[in-house]
Structure 1
């Protein structure tokens, strides 16, 4: 399995890096086992900066519509440009058509993993993710429920991503390493300082509650440490 981004993603990322402020990366030198980074969306700021400046290839979980041109076009016309931005539908169509081709090709080149919310196809998300992790590569997930919130404070998060542990453990007998990854606007820093694991012999549902709370708490602690939260 390819461990590097595609050429389109690398070209666009290289061009943006010329103009966008550099963010330093401080993560543990050694991480035990396959790693899943959990980060904060912040209305696209988190994914944008992470994929722009993280030094290694990360497979981001991305809503499936943005990885398929036709679905991406429909999303832009029916929701993003019309309902969210209030554009005229004809204008939305004109902009959405070329943009949907570019975005879907870019995100596929960026090795995104499609996420199928509210569908049995979510099993494809887990299967693809397990294969990526088994090959020694890394995944990043932005599980904020309100992804449009630009605040540095992490609020409610989806918990379903933690089923990835269950599927990975069933196939390999190994636990995943969940690493909260915070992107600081104030410090221009991508930061992580904890590794969180499921424990042997404990019930999955109870462990899931514990781990999502630890991730939530750690991300907000890092935000405070960086001066993004008062």
Structure 2
């Protein structure tokens, strides 16, 4: 039985949003006895939104660190997301970003998210925290698309840094962690998981990581094809 760790804020939001959005089936979503790391396709927020909304279990998402801090979140939305990316007037962008930053940071923290400090030495803390929750039997979900704004169903280039979880986990437990591809289908309105993908004993990590990444990408794209997305 997987533990439940979401805070009351996100539980309330999920219950409310589920009542006003189309239902996604979880019949093909496999829950594992051992802890796993689910890997999914971002699709410009489509993946994170539906995977976290409809997942039958609580999962720790990896989230860029700016969304865990209210001031940093406001800066991200006002100076980039709404102004540069969406082309909004800077004053309007600030007016929208201010209240939204409170909502987002409360939501992210209520999800018990794991902050990702990309390009910083603090990324080590990301892996240490990930190993801690995995050793408690809890699961993680990561959306490693390089172009996260690409809304197409095809999974393209992925960051490979997340694979270091296996290295940290193996050092602590002597076991390899399972990477489980998870696909959210727009066409079928369902969450689907495929077979776990592992690093192998006795083989160099750096030599394996490109093959593991390719397997994850291929699995996500095969599920998309099967769903006719």
- The verdict on a shared fold, with TM-score over 0.5 as the criterion, is yes
Could you tell me whether the CA contact under 8 Å between 1:32 and 1:177 is conserved in 2? no
TM-score normalised by length of structure 1: 0.96
Could you tell me whether the CA contact under 8 Å between 1:179 and 1:192 is conserved in 2? yes
* Aligned-partner Cα distance in 1 for 2:50–2:156: 20
- Indicate yes or no: 2:106 matched with 1:105: yes
Q: Please provide the CA RMSD for this pair.
A: 1.1
Deviation (angstroms), 1:32: 6.2
Matches within 5 A, 1:110-189: 110-189=111-190
* Aligned-partner Cα distance in 2 for 1:117–1:36: 18
Deviation (angstroms), 1:202: 0.6
* Aligned-partner Cα distance in 2 for 1:28–1:96: 37
Structure 1 residues 37-68: Cα deviation after superposition (integer angstroms, max 9, x where no partner): 00000000000000000010010001110111
**Which stretches in structure 1 are left out of the alignment for 5+ residues?**
none
Could you tell me whether the CA contact under 8 Å between 1:33 and 1:175 is conserved in 2? no
* Aligned-partner Cα distance in 1 for 2:47–2:187: 13
* Aligned-partner Cα distance in 1 for 2:164–2:34: 17
- Indicate yes or no: 2:45 matched with 1:28: no
The SS at the match of 2:42 is coil
Partner residue in 2 for 1:11: 12
Structure 1 residues 123-173: Cα deviation after superposition (integer angstroms, max 9, x where no partner): 111111111100000000000000000000000000000001001111111
Report how many residues are paired. 226
The SS at the match of 1:162 is helix
* Aligned-partner Cα distance in 2 for 1:27–1:20: 19
* Aligned-partner Cα distance in 2 for 1:6–1:16: 16
Structure 1 runs (4+) deviating above 3 angstroms are: none
Deviation (angstroms), 1:112: 1.1
